[in-house]
Amino acid sequence: MGGKSTLMRQVGLITIIAQMGCYVPAEKCRMTPVDRVFTRLGASDRIMAGESTFFVELSETAAILQHATKHSLVLMDELGRGTATYDGTAIACSVVQELSSNIACRTLFSTHYHSLVEEFSHDPNIRLGHMACMVENEDKDPTQETITFLYKFTKGACPKSYGFNAAKLANIPDEIIKIAVKKSREFEESIERLRMIRSVWNNGKKESLILMQNQSRVS
């Protein structure tokens, strides 16, 4: 919707065109030649082979991890969307780590997993970016907002998700969107409570460990 998948395809095509010695659709272009361009784009299954969408994702990802070098260009669009959220996030996280730290190749990796963005926000090998948009009449109720996609790549993480705004553009009834917004906030509050409980629990274990160590020294 915002143009990120189109941008990734454009980067791949421009890289190939430039290495052929042809003109590219840009005011200027600076690049280092690549040995291969790997793509994991789109979502489709292989019915005749008995392979699900998620299996196809993983098979293509496995091939990339096996053959990519530090001189390769890798384009991966929303890896992990074909399975449960936690599994998908974990797999995407480990793949990003492998591409960034071990293979160390140039990669464009798009995701809707905000926890993944938080995980790598301070990684010196990774730069965050998002497709910019303009929101008019910004409100807690997305049915009252008007969103315009600018189709421009901007530095930094996306400040919020615009899934509900996209639902409005697709003519999903406002009543359904409002229910979805309410459920989303309930999920967020539930997750935040779990984080607080884990934080208190972990701090309590640390304090108990320190206390036990001090008692051992005294005895």
In order along its 219 residues, the chain shows pLDDT tens digits of 788 899 999 999 999 999 999 999 988 888 899 999 999 998 788 888 888 888 999 999 999 999 999 999 999 998 988 788 888 899 999 999 999 999 999 999 998 888 888 889 888 999 999 988 888 877 677 777 788 888 999 998 887 777 888 888 888 998 998 899 888 888 778 877 777 777 766 666 666 656 666 665 555
- Residue 214: per-residue pLDDT: 61
Contact 167, 1 (CB under 8 A): no
Strand partners, 136: 146
- Return the closest-CA partner of residue 76 out of 129, 28, 37: 37
pTM (two decimals)? 0.79
Strand stretches in 41-145, DSSP E: 73-77, 106-110, 129-136
Enumerate domains of the chain plus CATH numbers.
1-127 (3.40.50.300)
Contact 98, 68 (CB under 8 A): no
To the nearest 10°, the Cα dihedral for 87, 88, 93, 95?
Answer: 110
- Residue 42: per-residue pLDDT: 83
- Return the closest-CA partner of residue 57 out of 95, 15, 9: 95
C-alpha gyration radius of the chain = 22
Question: DSSP string covering 185-196, please?
Answer: HHHHHHHHHHHH
Contact 177, 143 (CB under 8 A): yes
